[in-house]
A and B are shown apart, each in its own frame.
Chain A
Amino acid sequence: MKYGVEQERDWNALTDGAFRDIVRAEVEAHHPSELRYPPRRLRWAENRSWYLRMAAKGWIAPGWPREYGGMGLSPTKLLIFLEEMERWGIARFQDHGILMVGPILMRFGTEAQRRRYLPPILACEEIWCQGYSEPNAGSDLASLRTEARREGDQFVINGQKTWTTLAHDSSHMIVLARTDKTAKKQSGISFLLLDLKTAGITVRPIRDIAGHDEFCEVFFDNVRTPASNLVGELNQGWSVAKSQLGFERIHIGSPKLPEYGLQVLQSVARARGVQGDPLFRDRVAQLQLDVAHLGDIYGHFAAIVGRGEALGPEVSLLKIWATETFQRIADLIIETAGDCGGLAGKVQMGDGRIEVLAPFYKARPTSIYGGSNEIQRNILARQVLNLPG
């Protein structure tokens, strides 16, 4: 079975420098410049053409093994690839299919599931979102109440998901649903694949305090999905989902957002003419070191992933440090912006226009989603420091 387009060559056989040059040349030549460093999450209509190009090139899944249609990059090459994307300010798309669904199906899926779902993920024909959180199951995710009842060769889903990022741009959803109400919390949950065109699904965008609508509520009213869309064993969905949480944490823990924050900070500082102020320089240097050291520890965890080893609970520290560093940078941006710190949108500062509040609004929810930082601290306290519960 061929899953994606043929790779042009064995990337891992190239020197690191040669590989970097190839990636850099590609993005500099073809990535639309108006999409660089977007201040908000882009919608699929905006970055679709770029990612379709990446898909056609076979570059959509750099971390997937070649046998499944990925670039099959070694950890070092993967890091170079991601560095070049970030260096050029290329925003993610709704890439749960690449980052979560693919790896989950490779590990827990059936051959039939892989054949059905991996090719359209690689072609960006099917876009996936993640249906985990519910109104009353946030930090306490395992208390989720959306249920899936088995009827013949189908599951019938009823309930509600919320904070589903870009559900309105997605064609499919991974759903955690309760399949055994008698079992204790984690043990009665199953992992299902769902086509969002199925009858009975309502997707409602939620406007956020920055005025964007990146996340949605999704309601299920007797929604039927084939029993063959169960991933892993019945009632074992928690372990399936949990296997990817480490990857989510390492993703949120990337230095990308803090680095973007530092760039905005520098623009604001230039416009305000404060770069020379010794106190300001000290504060910026502190934040630069915070980001540099984040990069160091991120590299440490990325290498673990690269070796194919499992991430331990320690990875929670990465999420905490990355998100709170980003928040400190965003705080200093609005402080430095002075009177411009209360203005919305692109603000005239000096000779340019800067979205002064964008990093601030972007930074706030990072300590909430993907398992709140309070939950991450609980994990570290209990599972790493072995403190009593």
Chain B
Amino acid sequence: MLRMLRDSAADFASLDAVRVRRLRGAARGFERSVWQEMARMGWLGVLIPEDHGGLGLKPGAAAIIAEQLGRALYPEPYSASAVAATLALLHGDNSALKQRMLPQLAEGNVIAALAWQDERGGLDIDQCAVKARVQGKALILDGSSRFVATPEADAFIVAARSAQDLELHWIARDAPGLACEAELRADGSASARLNFTAVVISADTRVASAATAREALQLAIDHAMLAASAELLGLMDCALAMTLDYLRTRVQFGKPIGGNQALQHRAVDMYIQKELTRATLGAAVAAMDNPDCAPQRRSAAASSAKARASQAALAICKEALQMHGAIGYTDEYDLGLYFNRALVLSAWLGNAGAHRSRYATLADAI
């Protein structure tokens, strides 16, 4: 099954650089038609149980798809919606909402994104800057959230602090009082900054009560980190392959530049970083797919993968650019597309430094 998934993803997801360039900085940063196509392939529902319209696979299946999407630089918010938001809903405690929304997510009719970070960002789920207060029978949200994967989501799953504890709420994009501002990212995609001004919500759309919210949010983020790491693996593999081709074919001083031992050694170092990423990602998938994996171990595995992937992707892309010389710095050459996506994905959900420090804290605690 997983092999089939990988093959179908690899067949489907080849780099369409014209499309990737066209969607940069555009009002629409990705294509709903492609999202629908991904739904038909079953990818959006890989983590959704079969009785809710999905394939019910283990979380590692999403990483397989994410790697292929990373290779092809898909701007569609797969890791954000089909992994992060989907898992948050799935692991919450609102079965009626799951009944209603999980099939919609699987079918690609609804795109959702998690909103949990504050203005400063960071990996602590307690940073939440949205407050929920009770007013009569209603619940009111105030505050803000930043670094939300896409301003084009149809709905946001928002972490909010209530009198009890952290809760998760499903909020439609057009909810009165919700303002959504796009921030341009280095690859031409956008992330969202949400402002909540007396947004009225009901208990029906509470994704997770205080009893489950923390764990649902943490689990969703951990798996999204894993998926982002897989995207980074896919793109670093392509950036390295492009570079090796260039080293073989670019002739200066009468021979291919790849004939220079100094460059060969650096290419080998890039390869080592890529293989370390692949190995740590595989180990993290194995750990996280195990249903008995304790939450802290799961988080440590995710950080271990994201730290390596973020660091390796940037290192490989920088070396790739250096070895290409000026051509690599031009927008018309595809390497820059990988380079800019690496900048975005390595910063999203925690950069290498943030994950090293999170890993150290978790490893001490285990």
Query: Is chain B found bound to chain A in the same assembly?
Result: yes
Q: Which residues does chain B contribute within 8 Å of A374, judged by CB atoms?
A: 260, 262-263
Which chain B positions have C-beta within 8 A of A343?
183-186, 191, 347
Q: Which of A139, A334, A335, A357 contacts B325 (CB 8 A)?
A: A139
A140, A209, A345, A368: the one contacting B331 at CB < 8 Å is A209
B78: interface (CB < 8 Å): no
**Are A143 and B184 within 8 A (Cβ)?**
no
Which of these, A209, A334, A348, contacts B347 with CB under 8 Å? A334
Q: How far is the CB of A127 from chain B (nearest CB, A)?
A: 22
Cβ contact within 8 Å between A209 and B339? yes
Is B344 an interface position by the 8 A CB rule?
yes
Residues 359-389 (chain A) with a chain B CB within 8 angstroms = 360, 364-365, 367-369, 372-374, 377
State in angstroms the CA–CA spacing of A34 and B120 once bound together.
28
- The number of A-B residue pairs with CB atoms under 8 Å apart is 114
Report Cα–Cα, A339/B340, bound state, in Å. Answer: 15
What total of chain B residues lie within 8 Å of the partner, measured CB to CB?
45
A207 to B327, CA, bound (A): 11
**Smallest Cβ distance from B280 to chain A, in angstroms?**
19
Partner of B184, one of A163, A206, A345, A369: A345
Least distance between A268 CB and chain B CB atoms (Å): 12
Return chain A residues, CB-CB under 8 Å to B332: 206-207
Note all chain A residues with C-beta closer than 8 A to B329: 208-209, 364-365, 368
Compute how far the CA of A211 lies from the CA of B339 in the bound complex, rounded to whole angstroms: 13
Binary flags per residue of A151-178, CB closer than 8 Å to B gives 1, else 0: 0000000000011000000000000000
Task: Kindly supply a per-residue 1/0 record for chain B positions 241-276, scoring 1 wherever the CB is within 8 Å of any chain A CB and 0 otherwise.
Answer: 000000000011100010010110000000000000
A340 touches B121 (CB 8 A): yes
Is B117 part of the binding interface, using a Cβ–Cβ cutoff of 8 Å? yes
CA distance A367 to B324 in the complex (A): 12
Neighbouring B residues of A344 by C-beta, 8 Å:
184-186, 188
Q: Which residues from chain A contact B347 at a C-beta distance below 8 Å? A: 334, 337-343
Which of A339, A364, A368 sits near B122, CB closer than 8 Å? A339
Considering residues A207, A339, A340, A343, which has the most beta carbons from chain B within 10 angstroms of its beta carbon? A339
CA A374 to CA B344, docked complex, whole Å: 28
Residue count of chain A within 8 Å CB distance of chain B: 42
Whether the Cβ atoms of A209 and B326 lie closer than 8 Å is no
Contact of A341 among B191, B336, B339, B343 (CB under 8 A): B343
Is B99 in the interface zone, CB < 8 Å from A?
Answer: no
Neighbour of B336 across the interface among A209, A335, A360, CB < 8 A: A209
B191:A138 contact, CB within 8 angstroms: no
Is A130 among interface residues, defined by CB-CB distance under 8 A?
no
Report how far A136 CA is from B254 CA in the complex, Å: 11
A368 CB to nearest chain B CB (Å) = 5
Residues of A within 8 A of B120 (CB): 272, 338-339
What's the Cα separation between A51 and B354 when bound, in Å? 45
Q: Which residue of B lies closest to A208 (CB)?
A: B329
Residues of A325-362 contacting chain B, CB below 8 A: 327, 331, 334-345, 347-348, 357, 360
A209, B119: Cα distance in complex, Å: 27
Q: How far is the CB of A261 from chain B (nearest CB, A)?
A: 15
Is B353 positioned at the interface, with any CB of A under 8 Å from its CB?
A: yes
In the complex, what residues of A have CB within 8 A of residue B188's CB?
344
Top 4 A-B pairs, shortest CB-CB distance: A339-B121, A342-B347, A209-B336, A140-B252
